[in-house]
Amino acid sequence: MSTSNLRLDVVEIEVPEGYNVIIGRAHFIKTVEDLYEALATSCPSARFGIAFCEASQKRLIRHDGNDEELEARAVEACRRIAAGHVFVVYIKNAWPINVLNAIKHVQEVVAIDAATANPLKVIVADLGEQRALLGVADGFKPLGVEEEEDVRERIEFLRKIGYKRG
């Protein structure tokens, strides 16, 4: 295949204030149901929407969730990414850290590419009938290296929100 049949697209993924998005790749039609169960049981307070780009058969965007708005956002993100076997999860009332291990243990999940509340762009290769998720741009470039005061702030913050003891 010549590179003249290849186009790179950058797809901006909207992440509204108070929401997080998780993007990954999976491989089977039951991905949506299994992700639903993983999210519902790992963090019952979480509100979420899931969408999954089926790569064969009917090639539909499969979707589920416990919040209609988040489900619609996930479907729209999948529609814009349009790469086979990609899934998108929008969550609120939870953090990715609360659900990532459960998602990683879903049998169909192949990889997690992003779990963030930061501005997010997805790099997609368009090959005509096929599209591939190549990577993500999560947040912004670093501005420097942390110094002693930054370390103290990080340590204090993690204890303030209860993620570390002491």
Domains of the chain, with CATH numbers?
3-160 (3.40.1520.10)
The pLDDT mean for the chain works out to 95
Mean pLDDT across 78-86: 97
Tell me the sheet residues that pair with 41.
Answer: none
Query: pLDDT of 106-130, one tens digit each?
Result: 999 999 999 999 999 999 999 999 9
DSSP state of 22: E
Place of tokens 């619609």: 72
Residues in the chain: 166
- Contacting residues for 81 by C-beta, under 8 A, at least 6 apart: 11, 13, 23, 53, 88, 122, 124, 131, 133
Residue 20: is its pLDDT beyond 80? yes
Closest CA to 36 of 62, 54, 60: 62
pLDDT at 48: 98
pLDDT at 2: 57
